[in-house]
Structure 1
């Protein structure tokens, strides 16, 4: 069995010049090496449209076989284009992807987009998060119900994770560097969209656990303890 990933930068294997930035897909292989190989086709900046236009979707389908899992997570870049609105172009593209995966005998698994870490102004004891992805996560949930698909709700889960950790501690999940602190980011970086190695590992562990709970991965695999507490 293979696990094939379609998505944007929050899933992707980021280029070396962006290290330690990482998508969660890059940290998934340690959780599946005993039962499945991970093939990560996700790319930074990808939408449901550009992923197909750039040939990445075709490459993924060419690798997919009967019984493989195809995890699909888009939304961050779709929401930047009016014609890919959640209930029109985005939803139509997701339905097409699902149909094409099913036609190969593989199993599509929809993932809601991981939330951005945008805490609203206010005291940390009263902190709340912006819902930065609008109705894109809800559309994924609806399509999952409509088409009888497994859904991994990363949006709800990451929102709860950031709130549990709080404004200060949750920053470690993302790429935050002061000027001169990291050679790849000499001018500093405050990025609340893209995960650090630690953040990607925490999300990947959750994805692996969800695959087990959904009955899509063998039970009894030894999970890591990254991000637990």
Structure 2
């Protein structure tokens, strides 16, 4: 693990989530096919995962394929699913070597059977890894996640497993696909768009946001470190005032 103070870091987020946007625009700017942008985007994903592990981030969530992305042309979807499958097949041994556990959230049953099978295999093979969690949001939508959680919760109330007046934020969170994960502290979005795009709607309630105009294929480890430096300049109060946190620090 690299010395985070040497890098100018002293306060890291526990969980970083990234909306990896701009692959298509990157390819268009270079007069390349869209697939070239997606391939370059995978290289950046590998790089950011590796540096995250090196500096000690515990959870990183990558918005890999949204629920709405199923509306794209079938040819592009097929290419993206093949790229995902290739990434999983080629990277799982490296994940084990780096002690990185892979998990995935989303409506995974919509994935092509061969991609789903490889995904589950890598999840199983990395299940005992403990240094970091790599969470892929695939076929994921925040609204879809909340609706799914509500349906399961209603069924549990009907069956008498839980009483309706017992439901609170903590209980509800246990029905989300992100069950067991801390909420993201820091959400990065590349390509300059100012929207969540249906990403971690419940979990992002108190996340810090970082928007950069840099397209994802150009977002390297150096830009990532700069983003983390920006995060450590933020004051997270969670509805309280600064003096309350300063008083807590003095105790």
Common fold: TM-score over 0.5: no
- TM-score normalised to the size of structure 1? 0.37
- TM-score normalised to the size of structure 2? 0.35
Larger Rg: 2
